[in-house]
Amino acid sequence: MRRIVCFGDSNTYGQSPVDGSRYSEDIRWTGLLDKLLGEKFEVVNEGKSGRTIAFDDPYIEGCNGMADIVPCINVNKPLELLVIMLGTNDLKVYFGATPQSIAGNLLEMCRLARENTDAKLLLVSPMLLGDQIEFSPLHLEFGREQVDYSFELAPQIERVAQEMGAEFIDLAVVAMSSDVDCLHLMPEEHAKIAQAMQTKIVSMFQEELEQEAREEEERKKRQEEELRKLRQEEELRLRQEEERRQLHQEEERTPFHQEEFIPQQQEEIGKSQEDEEEQSGIQFQELIRKVVGARPSQTETSDGLFADSSEDDYGLEAAVIDNFKETEPVLETEKEKMLSGKLYRCDDKLGEEMAAAKKLTSAYNQTVSGEEEKRRQILQSLFQRMGQEVYVEPPFHCDYGSNISVGDYFYANFDCIMLDVARINIGNHVFLGPKVNIYTAGHPIYAPVRNECLEYGKEVTIGDDVWIGGNVTINPGVHIGSNVVIGSGSVVTADIPDGVVAAGNPCRVIRRISDSDRQYWEGKKAEYGLPYSEFR
């Protein structure tokens, strides 16, 4: 069993943002992770509320992680993996630390850990501080500058991981602090962290787990082989005993001149075998007649065979036999490979489909304002599925169009590009700014394979109620949730969860879309005064 030690602060400890109590083990992410990993792993929770990387907190004693790390390692030996998830408390106002200085302290802690254990190391960048923390109960410890600093922690900690040869995971793209105190986690966020940790840890031990699985499989095969041999030996022993018993009985029945009866028995056995072979041949001819049917011009001999042994007769039998041969597998087309995410080449058929799409987009891009009905008809011919009230500003470009599905009330501004070698699924009420690029096409990293014109596709999905700013690039395989805002200029390389604002290159979650946003914008709408239905 591999021991995993999780060395962290209050969010590892499992502190509730509602009343400050500790969550039970079946809610804490460490407890959930222990269940997800199964019997091959043991997860040890070494979280402590208020723990820093290297600062002595004047208000909480015994929280300097640098003093705790070595005793923690020693008490949990032997361990296979050390998870360090710290940095949030080091941002407190009265420490005056920057993300760079915090990362420097973390590097020192990692070196200290490496001196005391050979275990694998996983560095975890914590969640972002909530956007409203300066108005929360923790406003005396964290202000606006600390919120900004929390965005810079992830790249700094990732650099430490690279220098130490450690694995890294950024939890800011996985979970979010609660709206209650903008620091601690609600139960559902603990579940998200446990799932992300399980995926990362399994990948870290993948080779070892696969080797163990192979060894276990070989062990089972050896056991099965030993059991098979034992069964064979037992069957042989029982057979020999039965033969001896039968021989003994025969000797008792025929005590004299037994050798006189042996030739007669052998003759009877040979005759029986000939009868069986003859009957088998007759049955085979019957099978031929039933499946194909004898030709009227042919006659049968008394032994049931066809009198004419011409090539036609041989072909008749061959036809019957061929009916029982396995059917050759149907090969996938290049389009089927493309849509299933496999490597494919753009053959003539795909080239024709692409050329047809280019004709439609060319016709669409030549339309002028006022030709809305013509535009609608072209888009209906181009897209796989199109909801009501769909508007795309020309120019618009795509590969096939037939792999694009858009929901109701969709709007795309100028210069939108969708490379749809895989499915692009877009929900309802989605708005795209100008120059938004959605890519599903990918190419092999290994150049010799890439140079053979092989490529692949990964599906892109966008949920409902999404606003994507101008000049955003969405990479292959990305899934964007519902009720999401993507800031302009972002490069989206990983999945974005529901209900967040995200931005950057690579795109990261900035904050949750909270109830305060709803109140603010509903107030602005009230000032505007005109109901949406009346406007439409």
The string of DSSP letters for 222-280 reads HHHHHHHHHHHHHHHHHHHHHHHHHHHHHHHH--S-GGGTHHHHHHHHHHHHHHHHHHH
* Paired strand residues for 441: 457
Which of 80, 15, 13, 68 shows the shortest CA–CA distance to 42?
80
Task: Answer for the pair 123, 141: CB distance below 8 angstroms, yes or no.
Answer: no
Q: Which of 248, 397, 443, 479 is catalytic?
A: 443
Contacts of 173 (CB under 8 A, 6+ apart): 494, 495, 496, 508, 509
Q: H/E element holding 73? A: helix 65-75
Distance CA 393, CA 368 (A): 10
Amino acid at 420: D
**CA 415 – CA 424 distance, rounded (Å):** 17
443 is catalytic: yes
**Short-list 9, 110, 105, CA closest to 60:** 9
Alpha-carbon span 67 to 72, nearest angstrom: 9
CA–CA gap between residue 471 and residue 433 (Å, rounded): 7
Catalytic residues: 443
